Structure 1
Amino acid sequence: MGVFGGTFDPIHFGHLRTAFEMLQALRFDEVRFMPCGNPPHRGEPFADAELRLAMVLAATEGQAGFVVDDRELLRDGPSYSVDTLSALRSEFPLRPLALIIGMDAFLNLTKWHQWREILQLAHIVVAHRPGWRAPDMGPLGTLLADRGTHRIGDLHQARSGHIYIHDVTQLEISSTEIRELIAAGRDPRFLMPDAVRAVIEKSGCYRKPDTAEIQ
């Protein structure tokens, strides 16, 4: 199982393409989208939990292997990955779990809450894009030397403990830029599924009060 967390504020084709490529290339039985409730390393999301969940549900509807899990939105306090993985491990004690993160997040892994425990609970799959380089020195360089693998089979034969770096298609789409575009009265069409765009249009989230509706 791939575990794909994020604020998804809003979810867009960059998120979806990464998840789809992981699902296919790494032979996951599912990729579980985990909208973050209260992200500890960034400010409060712009759209509320209900809206972000609605957008993720709309974006993933009908895609085999995509599952949406709202447990972080229902949990009080910061949304720490280690807590989510602990809950999943209790629910699926024998199933391999793989936390999907970007290289930018991986480079900051040592700042995460109880980060060393994550590999006791799951594998880490790093979505690698051009312009980022995997560390070869320091704590993360040592971690990659000890735990890194190039074998997809290792992600299925063990329940946890490996780090796998996988190249994904680079789509230059940013949730921040989408919010700014909508606030400026412009249309996010073709940056996200139409169903997500419809949720944004109906709710008016991200739009300034004096901005006209999306045309």
Structure 2
Amino acid sequence: MKDCRRIGLFGGTFDPVHIGHLRSALEVAELLELDELRLLPSARPPHRETPQVSAAQRLAMVELAVQGVEPLRVDDRELRRDKPSYTIDTLESLRGELGEQVPLYLLVGWDAFCGLPTWHRWEELLEHCHIVVLQRPDADSEAPEALRDLLAARSVADPAALSGAGGQIAFVWQTPLAVSATQIRAVLAQGRSVRFLVPDAVLNYIEAHGLYRASN
């Protein structure tokens, strides 16, 4: 019998993972009735600064954050690849494991979506997945010209109407929590508490390992 789970994919440096990541992931998983939503920590993100802590530590924090939280999972395949974390490689790897029929939903923020034309082999992404854009109320900028034809041809108005294994784009309106990994790192560097900005298990890990202190 073919595997027809609906699987969401949410990549990021997660440096560290925080309640904003987790709340967004959970909301989308419920809206799209996903069987799994996999958080994929990136190893060497091509468009971001090098993470402050090790890959193993970032992975450990994400694993602690999703423990016991359905349907969130962790997928460490990007950390196991010794090269930059290109999304197209991840999608091809997943398709090789899951087959061509499993619906895949790639979650990206509005800013990342607008930067899509700079991604490695970006035109091929929709061959492997749907793209779900997390749209913020304050994201009033227009999509770049390079994406307009794609949006006209591939976007659907209702995220619940995404059909098939991939090939379409939908927008999910979200009011994000006012928290960022940059803010959390800055607070920790000042020796202040980040309780309630990250799950307790992540906070305990950060404190036990002395992460993000000014001396790091």
- Match of residue 208 from structure 2: 202
Deviations along 1:110-134, whole A, 9 cap, x unmatched?
0000000101111100011111136
Deviation at 1:154? Answer: 3.9
Shift of 1:136: 5.7
Deviation at 1:137, TM superposition (A): 6.0
The alpha-carbon deviation at position 209 of structure 1 amounts to 3.1
**Offset of 1:135 from its aligned partner?**
3.1
Select which of 11, 22, 25 maps to 2:17: 11
**Structure 2 unaligned spans of 5+:** 1-6
Is it true that 1:148 corresponds to 2:164 in the alignment?
A: no
Q: Secondary structure at the match of 2:134?
A: strand
Match of 1:174 among 153, 171, 180: 180
Q: Label 1:191 to 1:57 Cα distance change in 2 as closer, same or farther (>3 A).
A: same
What is the rounded CA distance, in whole Å, between the counterparts of 1:145 and 1:7 in structure 2? 31
Q: Distance in 2 between matches of 1:137 and 1:42?
A: 20
Of residues 122, 128, 132, the one that matches 1:121 is 128
Structure 2 residue 85 is the aligned partner of structure 1 residue 82: no
The code of the aligned residue for 1:151 comes to D
User: Could you tell me how far apart the structure 1 residues matched to 2:82 and 2:133 are?
Assistant: 27
> How many angstroms does 1:92 deviate by?
1.2
The verdict on how the C-alpha distance between 1:49 and 1:160 changes in structure 2, with shifts beyond 3 A counting, is same
> Pairwise mapping of residues 12-161 of structure 1 onto structure 2 (< 5 A)?
12-93=18-99, 94-133=101-140, 135=142, 138-155=145-162, 157-161=163-167
Work out the CA distance in 2 between the residues paired with 1:112 and 1:174: 23
* Structure 1 CA distance for aligned equivalents of residues 18 and 212 of structure 2: 14
- The alpha-carbon deviation at position 150 of structure 1 amounts to 1.9
Residue 167 of structure 1 aligns with an amino acid whose one-letter code is W
User: For the residues of structure 2 that align with 1:136 and 1:198, how far apart are their CA atoms?
Assistant: 40
Cα distance change, pair 209–138 in 1 and its aligned pair in 2 (3 A):
closer
1:130 counterpart letter in structure 2: P
Residue 170 (structure 1) shift? 1.9
| Cα-to-partner distance string for 1:29-48 (whole Å, 9 max, x where unaligned) | 11000000110112210010
Structure 2 equivalent of residue 189 of structure 1: 195
**Equivalent pair of 2:159/2:171 in contact (CA under 8 Å):** no
Tell me the percent identity. 47
Query: Relative to structure 2, which stretch is displaced further, 109-118 or 169-178?
Result: 169-178
Q: Distance in 2 between matches of 1:104 and 1:162?
A: 18
